[in-house]
Amino acid sequence: MLIGTLLFATTTFLIWVALVYSLSALWLLIEVLPLGIGWNSSEMDAWGLDDVQVRVLTIGAEDVVQATVDSVPDGVAGIKVIAEQNIEIDGAAVHIVPDSFSCEATNKGRAVEWARRQVDCDAEYVLYLDEDTLVTGLTGLPEADFVQFTEKPIYTGSRLAYLCEVFRVG
pLDDT at 115 over 90: yes
103 in the same domain as 54? yes
Which residues, at least 6 apart from 8, have a Cβ–Cβ distance to it below 8 Å?
none
156 assigned to some structural domain: no
8 Å CB contact between 159 and 82: no
State pLDDT tens for residues 134-153: 888 888 887 776 777 777 77
Q: Which of 43, 40, 49 is nearest to 72 (CA)?
A: 49
Give the chain's mean pLDDT. Answer: 85
State pLDDT tens for residues 43-69: 555 788 999 999 999 988 899 899 999
Q: How confident is the model at residue 142, as a pLDDT?
A: 77
165 assigned to some structural domain: no
Separation between Cα atoms, residue 49 and residue 157, nearest integer Å:
33
State pLDDT tens for residues 65-110: 999 999 999 999 899 999 999 999 999 999 999 999 999 988 889 9
Separation between Cα atoms, residue 110 and residue 154, nearest integer Å:
28
169 assigned to some structural domain: no
48 in the same domain as 17? no
Is pTM beyond 0.75? Reply is no
8 Å CB contact between 88 and 62: yes
> SS3 of 83, please?
strand
